[in-house]
Structure 1
Amino acid sequence: MAKTVLILSGSPNPQSRLAGIISHLETTLAARGVDVDHLAAASLPAEDLIFGRFDSPAVQEANARVARADAVIVASPVYKASYTGLLKTFLDLLPQKGLEGKTVLPIMIGGTIAHLLAIEFALKPVLSALGARRFAGEVYALDTQVERKETPGGVIYELQDELRERLDAAAARLAGETADAAVRV
């Protein structure tokens, strides 16, 4: 049975530098035989998120996708020293133990190294409150490590070697821990 990793993006901009990181992770995981699903919180109806509509068909389907995944990558840009409010509104709609039994990999990107601890002090506590206990590390990237280029064929991203190496190592850990968890079940 193939492992499935859901990449949950909290970016309101589908062409942000975070998209370059997500694209790299998708490619890396797919090369390891992992099925990758991608859920952008921005694709969910704003009113459902803001008004906490647990019964919304779109929210229920998004929650079902999280439930089906063996592992979840939670990715967000840093906004005001934390993850985005967009991501928070979706996480608030997950069931109380929505991440229980899943391996989780938090990813954040910010403009300065000063926000490096946003993963530890802002994101991981919320993920833990949702039942996450197995973390496959974490990756914090600087905006300057991802170059976004407009081309006639669309936007392309170039990641610095050091960041690419850290993402590849995190993807390998995630794939390995997900496989180990499947064996324990």
Structure 2
Amino acid sequence: MSDIVIISGSPSDNSKTKKVLNYFGTFLEKEGFSISHISVRDVSKDVLFEGKYDSPEIQNIATLLQDAKGIIIGSPVYKGAYSGVLKTLIDVLPQDVLKQTPVLPLMTGGSPAHLMALDYALKPVLASLKAHNLKGIYLVDAQIDKQGEIPIIDEETLKRTEKQLYYFTKLVNNSIFN
């Protein structure tokens, strides 16, 4: 069992979203948490396309999520929302898979104009899975360097992000949710 499960909703293997999520995993491992990563890219296409909610693959993902103390889920913004493949994965998961689990949502986008996708697209669908949503983090592509060890290049944004991660760890450690 992992303390924290990190889900990448990016269909690209080399995305800025994935780079930031990997950094979050490294950050949280240094804080003493065990981490598992799930990428929509790793889920069988036929399972997603055919909506095989009862497949062993989806059941394994659901169990991993239900056993986690916390979840981080990230997606790039596409057409004002999260990725379609992430929606497809969410659609085949059990309705209460994130019940009372602290969830830190992350979205990355090309401009600040897409900031509201976090509040109006991703967070409501997580709430429908009974997640305990945190404020969330939105990063503009210009704030991310895919080549850097720490991908968030703006110091103020990095401090704000780390503050959210520390708050997330407090909730993960809070016995109310475990």
With the shorter chain as reference, the TM-score category is over 0.9
Question: C-alpha distance in 1, partners of 2:103/2:21?
Answer: 15
Which residue identity lines up with residue 115 of structure 1 in the other structure? Answer: H
Q: CA deviation at 1:166?
A: 2.2
Contact kept in structure 1, 2:23 and 2:150, CA below 8 Å: no
8 Å CA contact 2:106, 2:138 repeated in 1? yes
Q: Which residue pairs with 2:137 in the alignment? A: 139
Q: In the aligned structure 2, how far is the partner of 1:7 from the partner of 1:171?
A: 13
Structure 2's unaligned 5+ residue stretches are none
TM normalised by structure 2 equals: 0.92
Deviation per CA, 1:1-35: give whole Å up to 9, x if none.
Answer: x9711111100112111122112111111111111
- Give the structure 2 partner of residue 86 of structure 1: 85
Q: Output the aligned Cα RMSD.
A: 1.8
Name 1:121's counterpart in structure 2. 120
After TM superposition, give the deviation of residue 158 of structure 1 in Å.
3.3
How many pairs does the alignment contain? 177
Are 2:151 and 1:158 aligned?
yes
SS at match of 2:100: coil
Task: Give 1:74-113 correspondences, 5 Å limit.
Answer: 74-113=73-112
**What amino acid is the match of 1:29?**
L
CA contact (8 A) 2:16 2:141 kept: yes
* TM-score normalized by the length of structure 1: 0.89
The verdict on how the C-alpha distance between 1:80 and 1:50 changes in structure 2, with shifts beyond 3 A counting, is same
State percent identity of aligned pairs. Answer: 32
Deviates more, 1:107-116 or 1:53-62: 53-62
Q: Which residue of structure 1 aligns with residue 19 of structure 2? A: 20
> Which consecutive segments of 4 or more residues in structure 1 shift more than 3 A?
155-158
Q: Contact 1:17 / 1:157 at 8 angstroms: preserved in 2?
A: no
2: CA distance between counterparts of 1:83 and 1:67? 22
- The answer to whether the 8 A contact 1:97-1:130 is kept is yes
Question: Which deviates more, 82-91 or 28-37?
Answer: 28-37
1:169 maps onto 2:163 in alignment: yes
The answer to which structure has the higher strand fraction is: 1
Matched residue, 2:29: 30
Cα distance change on mapping 1:33 and 1:183 into 2, 3 Å? farther
Q: Which runs of 5+ in 1 are unaligned?
A: 150-154
State the alpha-carbon separation in 1 of the partners of residues 146 and 99 from structure 2: 35
* Cα distance in 2 for residues equivalent to 1:157 and 1:18: 13
Corresponding letter in the other structure for 2:167: R
Secondary structure of 1:75's aligned partner: strand
